[in-house]
Each structure stands twice: as C-alpha cells, then as structure tokens.
Structure 1
Amino acid sequence: MPRARRSRLRKTTHAHDRKARDLPLNAEVATVEIDDPLALEPGEKIIALRSIRNDPLARLHNHHQIDEAQYRGGRAFQDDWEKAERGPRAVDPTREYVDGGRAREPITERQRRAVLRLNRIEHELGADGIMLVHEVLLLGLTMEQIGLRRGLRGQRWKDYFSRRFQECLDRLGKLTVSRVLNQKAAD
C-alpha cells in the first residue's frame, strides 16, 4: 500500500517584506517605523532596521533614555554642523599653485543659516555644554571617555555628564521646536 503524502508547510514571504535576514555578527540594530518608499499610497509605513552601533543618539533613543524632542534636537544639531562644515576652506600655502584650479564655492544661504543657528546654540548651552554635545554627537564618545579626557574618573562623573548631556538635549529640542514654529509662522 502506498504511503500517504504529507503536505509540506511552505514559508510564504510577502512581496512587501524587505527586511534583511542575515546580519553581521557584531551588528547592533533596532527596528524603526518609516515611510514606505515603494508605497502606492502616501503615508504607508514599513518596519526597517537601523544600525545603532556607531550612533550614540539612536542608541539612547532606542533604549528610551531620551525622548523624541531630544532626539530631533540632536539630529538638527548634527544636520546644522554638517551644513556649516562644508564651508570655505583655508588657503594651504604648502600646496603647489595650479592655473585653472577650481574657484572656491560661495557660502550658500543654508550654510549661513546653519552657522547662525550653531552660534545661537553655543550661546544657549555655554562652552561646557557645547563641548559635551560636540564630543557625544560628532565624535561619538561615551560618558566614560569624556570623563577620562577631562581627567575625571568614577561613576559620579559619568552620571553627571549623562545628566548634563540630557539637559543640553532638552535645550536643543526646545530650540528645534521654536525653529519649526517660526518657519510655519513665516510661511
């Protein structure tokens, strides 16, 4: 008598499932909901993986140590820094002069506004606050590394720098919200 065939359960994958299946061994990722770039209707969302390995701001946000306003304020600071950093370069007298070299790029209005916002942020946070934000958001240092750079060791100093950094992110979040409200009022 022939054996009855068993129906095999097949794994069905949906066409819209675009998540990575294989990750490197040392990957640190978090799920995030984003707008679907391939959506047929606007506003559709998908779940994506975001790397948090070299991103201290995303790591803090993922572990719910900072809120959405602090996260957006930190991202706005990073964005302004990137815009302002692209500015004019100093003349290097050691380089050989070449006829027909590229002309310097003029400073754009976006760069000028970014520098003005960075100046306001520096005024709001003070010298120590802007240095702390710079070390964490741009250099990617941990609180322990920041303490060691200043010659301060111990858990109390790490806690102090963590609290101070959150205060700075609070201020950045408030400045970002006020900037968005001013833009909406101007429109």
Structure 2
Amino acid sequence: MAGVRRNKSYRLTGIYDRRSLEVPFNAEVAEVEVDNPLALDAGEKIVVVRSVRGDPLGRLHAHHQIDEAQYCGGRAFQSDWERAERGPQAVDPTREYVDGTRSREPVTEDQRQAVLRLNRVERELGTDGAALVHDVLVLGLTMDQIGERRAVRTQRWNDYFARRFRECLDRLALIYGFATEGRAQRAKQR
C-alpha cells in the first residue's frame, strides 16, 4: 500500500485573478481600481470590472473624459437626489388596513439637508444647467437624446451640451467640496 504524501504546502502561492472572463456580447465594462474588501492592510487596492452601460457618469470617468473631482461631484448629486426623492413606495402588508389612505412618513433630517443642497445646486447652475445635469445624472440620457428632447439634432449642439455638462460637473465639484476655486480656474484654462 502506498503512503500518503503530506508534505505538500496548502498555502496560496499566487494571487488569483478574480475578474470575469466571460461577459455578454453587448456589455459595456471598464476596469476600475477600488479598495480591497478582503485586504488585511488598509488602503490596499484591487482592479475590478464595472458595468458602464446605463451609467453615463461612469462611462465618462472610465474613458478619462472627466476627472476624479467631477466624478465625485456627480455621484454626490445623484446621492442627494436619491435621498430627497420620495418615489413610489410599496404597500406594507403588516400595517393595519383602514380605508386605503396611508399616513405620510415624516421628512428626515437627511432628506431635508439633501433638498437644501439640491436647491443650492439649482441656484448655482441656473435653470438650464440644472436641467442638463438632471437629464444626464438622474434620467441617464446621452447628449444625442438631450438634443432630441430639445429639438436640436446637430453635432454642434451635442458638443455644446457636452461642454456645458462638464462645466456643470466642475461647479458640482466646487459645491460639494471635491475641488477648490483655484483648481477650477486651471481646468478652464486648459
């Protein structure tokens, strides 16, 4: 009878690539670097694949068309919009049915602060800038779709909307504190 070999080490000898190798044929993905959730050392990063198909802000960031401060400003706007929005809510079957009307839930402090920040954003960006930011960041429209909604379908208008959107992202980065006024001036000069 042969003896069992037990001197083989069970330690992991290499780092494994955990990225997906098979993606759907119509997938739009980008590689991004994020904090490693399984890291033993703080600040360790890993590269992951993120879908940018329905995320115009993520697509712009992945293609290096906007910088980190603009990206963070856009995400902060989206976060405030989600906090402040009171959309359709599901019926809670555990609550007692009386006559079909539900009592309104009180406005939380987070929602109130988000609405105040959104009001400031609208004042800073103006009506047109706020509508453009809403169309792209909340509704997920492309510049072509924005042009169609405004009945202007030329490439010149698409370029204008893209340039104006980047200006609005610069302003959002300033409002939310991801950039300083000096940095915004240097970006305009480029």
TM class, shorter-length: 0.7 to 0.9
Question: After superposition, where does 1:14-163 map in structure 2 within 5 Å?
Answer: 14=14, 16-86=16-86, 98-99=97-98, 103-163=103-163
| Identity rate, percent | 64
Q: CA deviation at 1:122?
A: 0.4
- Which position in structure 2 is the counterpart of 1:164? 164
Give distance in 1, aligned partners of 2:179 and 2:88: 26
Q: Secondary structure in 1 aligned to 2:46?
A: strand
Give distance in 2, aligned partners of 1:170 and 1:147: 21
Q: CA deviation at 1:173?
A: 0.7
Give distance in 2, aligned partners of 1:118 and 1:88: 20
One-letter code aligned to 1:116 = L
Q: Could you tell which deviates more after superposition, 118-127 or 169-178? A: 169-178
Q: CA deviation at 1:176?
A: 1.2
Q: CA deviation at 1:21?
A: 2.0
Q: Could you tell which deviates more after superposition, 41-50 or 123-132? A: 41-50
Instruction: Report the TM-score when normalising by structure 1.
Output: 0.78
Deviations 1:63-97 (A, max 9, x none): 111111111110000000000013798xxxxxxx9
Cα root mean square deviation, aligned: 2.6
Deviations 1:157-180 (A, max 9, x none): 111111111111110011111799
One-letter code aligned to 1:135 = D
Alpha carbons of structure 1 residues 162 and 179: separation in structure 2 relative to 1, 3 Å: closer
Q: CA deviation at 1:117?
A: 0.1
- Which position in structure 2 is the counterpart of 1:92? none
Q: Structure 2 unaligned segments of length 5 or more: list them.
A: 1-11, 90-95, 181-190
Instruction: Report the TM-score when normalising by structure 2.
Output: 0.77
Q: Structure 1 unaligned segments of length 5 or more: list them.
A: 1-11, 90-96, 181-187
Give distance in 2, aligned partners of 1:45 and 1:25: 28
Q: CA deviation at 1:24?
A: 1.1
Q: Secondary structure in 2 aligned to 1:49?
A: strand
